[in-house]
Amino acid sequence: LTSPASWKAIPAPSGGTYRWKMSGPEVPNKFLCSITQQIMADPVVTVDGHVYEREAIEDWLAHKATSPNTNLKLDSKKLIAVHCVKQMIKDFLEKHPELYDQGKVYVPRAEKQELHSRFFEAIKHSKVEKVVELLKSGVDVETVDELGNTPLIVAVEQNKSDMVELLLENNACVGVRSRQNKTPLHIAVEHNFIGVARILLSAKATVNTHGGDSLRTPLCIAAKNDELQMAKMLLDWKADLHMFQDAGHTALHIAAMEGSTNVGALLIQYHANLEKLTDNDETPLHLATAFNRPNFAQLLVDAKADLSATNHIGNPLHYAISEKHVELTKMMIAWRVDIEAKDRDGDGPLALAAMKGFRLAVRMLVELGANIEAKSNENRTALHHASSQGHEDLVNFLLDHGAPINAQTIYGQTPLNRAAVKGRLPVTRLLVERKADFELTDRWGATPLFRAARNNRKDIVEFLISVGADMDAGITEGHNGDAEQNTGLHTAAWRGHSTVVDILLRNGADYTKTNAAGETPAMVAANDKEVIAEQIHAFQESEQRACPVLVRRMKVENARLKAQVEEETSKLREQVEEQSNENKALQDRIQALEAKVQATMGTSSTSTSTGRKRKLRQQGDKSIGKRLRNSGRKNN
């Protein structure tokens, strides 16, 4: 119904309006749609038992799943045509022609859709006269297309300044929202349509409003896209510098993340707060560093941004190292950012660099004097992190620069313990070669071998056995399912690590040893790992047939002694070689003395010279003999 003087407008779910006539004979309520209060043209019933205009209820259900009358959730969105009501409405209208406005009470849907389609096409092609004609014929200026956009939104998207002005003159709502929750101003700023944005602002569009999924303000959008002219216009229209979108990001935070240096410089010029925190306690400098925006970071530092700002992640240097941003790391170090600052875990930049395998940062920080023994809240060091992550070269570098090889966390974990747990064989081998204590236990009395067995690290288990690690050491405290006095064989059996069980058995692990509960490895496995239990029993039987347990253990011990003897022999050879070098030096000295004597004595004192030479030789021989005897005693 179209007469603007006698029809009242109410909002529709899609953002448009419905109209109904206020004068004339009383219309029965059953003929009116409860959503639009309009005489129905195509009545349908829903599962809530109420009758609605089909177009209105479809529009409603496109956005909601509840009944318009009861507000209860609808089990189904099925619609059923009510032909009897439709016929009753038709009969009623024929009896009351005064309800007709210029021959029509309503426009059938097909015809209405055709008018709307022509209206939107006219807007897209800037056909001013056609748009005016359709508006005069009763087309609603707030009607929506199939995407839920009003004519004003379509005109803005098409950058049609003339259409925007015309629609606003015909009372189009300047603050209307699209289905994406954006106003026309948001859309104009997104596309950098400065002319259209200026028209909207002149029509009193709200400059400080959220929109879209991220609840961005128009200024935040301009900052994201680095639209300098647009941002300046918005600021001149009193855009709020510190109004934030989701997560507490202001325009300067957005500019920092995107590296929008042009808008960033403008915001700083307008006195944007350089230390404003997001919901995650991040400053613009934190974000510029995290998103690898060195130019923006330089802009902020030039404006005196706080380099010491620290949150749970750390200071800006932590951010640069965490993402392994080389240029920004160098910049932060050049700006003398605190290299001993801590994150929420108590880790400094050096520990973080070691964890990330950021070799350049590790070397730079050590050269700058970073504390290589610094501990986290749990007493982890940089060496713990490098070992745990398997960064062999960094482990070697840190050890060369004095990192404590047997440092323990509050849980008693050493770097070797962490490498064994994680299965880092090269690092494990390196740490043992650098004299790490492979029998040092953690808080629960577990050795690195136990931890390796527990975590099914087969290669680590084999290696530690090869260097003489105690296979039968039991933990001193129950932990994570392991009973007190469980050995590596117990824990491997209990967890079903059959390969580790086999390695331990073949190398002489004691399968008869019991834990604090009196259980052998086979008994522990028998709970739910029958295959492992059978494996242990089978090994035990075959061993008993082959040789006594004592003989087997003697073989294992002999192998260990053989390795030890070979190592000692190698050391002795080195000592003998050193002694030989010393003896040779002594002989050279005697020869030099002889030559000196010959040069200073005449032929007349030949016999005396000969006697002195004989005496020197005897002294030299005695000295050599004495040194060799002492060396032999020491080696024995």
Span 412-429, pLDDT tens digits = 999 999 999 999 999 999
Half-sphere exposure of 217 (CA within 13 A, CB side): 26
How buried is residue 186: exposed, middle or buried, by Cβ count under 10 Å (0-12/13-18/19+)?
A: buried
Structure confidence by residue, pLDDT tens digits, 139-166: 888 888 888 889 999 999 999 999 999 9
* Phi, psi dihedrals of residue 336, rounded to the nearest 5°: 60, 40
Please give the Cα distance from 139 to 132 (Å, whole number). Answer: 10
Is residue 513 included in any domain, yes or no? no
Is residue 565 included in any domain, yes or no? yes
401 or 212: which leads in pLDDT = 401
Can you give the pLDDT at residue 626?
54
Given 106, 141, 162, the domain boundary residue is 106
Can you give the pLDDT at residue 635?
44
Can you give the pLDDT at residue 85?
86
Is residue 286 included in any domain, yes or no? no
How buried is residue 352: exposed, middle or buried, by Cβ count under 10 Å (0-12/13-18/19+)?
A: buried
Can you give the pLDDT at residue 547?
53
Please give the Cα distance from 430 to 453 (Å, whole number). Answer: 19
Can you give the pLDDT at residue 636?
39
Structure confidence by residue, pLDDT tens digits, 172-211: 999 999 888 999 999 999 999 999 999 999 999 999 999 8
The single residue listed with the structure tokens 């209990």 is: 494
CB atoms within 10 A of CB 328: 24
Is residue 155 included in any domain, yes or no? no
Six-digit token string for 139 = 């087309």
Domain count of the chain? 2
Can you give the pLDDT at residue 584?
78
Given 55, 75, 106, the domain boundary residue is 106
636 or 390: which leads in pLDDT = 390
The DSSP element (H or E) to which 360 belongs, if any, is: helix 359-367
- 89-93, 389-393, 414-418, 610-614: segment of lowest average pLDDT: 610-614
- 348-352, 389-393, 522-526: segment of lowest average pLDDT: 522-526
What mean pLDDT, rounded, does the chain reach?
85
| pTM value > 0.85 | no
Task: Give the residue numbers spanning the domain of 65.
Answer: 7-106
The DSSP element (H or E) to which 81 belongs, if any, is: strand 80-81
Contact residues for 354 (Cβ-Cβ < 8 A; gap 6+): 362, 382, 383, 385, 386, 389, 391, 394, 398
* Phi, psi dihedrals of residue 187, rounded to the nearest 5°: -65, -40
When pLDDT is cut at 50, 70 and 90, the band that residue 17 belongs to is very low
Is residue 33 included in any domain, yes or no? yes
Task: Give mean pLDDT, residues 42-49.
Answer: 90
Is the pLDDT reported for residue 532 higher than 90?
no
The single residue listed with the structure tokens 């010491």 is: 308
The answer to whether the beta carbons of residues 89 and 43 sit under 8 Å apart is yes
Structure confidence by residue, pLDDT tens digits, 50-94: 999 888 898 888 888 888 888 888 888 899 998 888 888 888 877
Instruction: Identify any residues that bridge with 216 across adjacent strands, giving them in sequence order.
Output: 211
Q: For the residues of 565-627, what is the DSSP string, one character each?
A: HHHHHHHHHHHHHHHHHHHHHHHHHHHHHHHHHHHHS-GGGHHHHHHHHHHHHHHHHHHHHHH
Can you give the pLDDT at residue 19?
40
Given 90, 106, 122, the domain boundary residue is 106
Can you give the pLDDT at residue 75?
87
Residue percentage of the chain with pLDDT more than 90: 56
Per-residue exposure over 606-619, b if at least 16 CB sit within 10 Å of its own CB, e if not? eeebeeebeeeeee
Task: Give mean pLDDT, residues 569-596.
Answer: 78
Structure confidence by residue, pLDDT tens digits, 516-525: 989 998 888 8
Is residue 46 included in any domain, yes or no? yes
Please give the Cα distance from 94 to 7 (Å, whole number). Answer: 21
Please give the Cα distance from 311 to 393 (Å, whole number). Answer: 31
Query: The domain that contains 57 carries what CATH number?
Result: 3.30.40.10
Structure confidence by residue, pLDDT tens digits, 215-261: 899 999 999 999 999 999 999 999 999 998 888 999 999 999 999 99
Of 127-131, 359-363, 548-552, where does the model show the most confidence?
A: 359-363
Please give the Cα distance from 226 to 262 (Å, whole number). Answer: 6
Is the pLDDT reported for residue 13 higher than 80?
no
Can you give the pLDDT at residue 135?
87
Is the pLDDT reported for residue 6 higher than 60?
no
Is the pLDDT reported for residue 448 higher than 80?
yes
The answer to whether the beta carbons of residues 521 and 539 sit under 8 Å apart is no
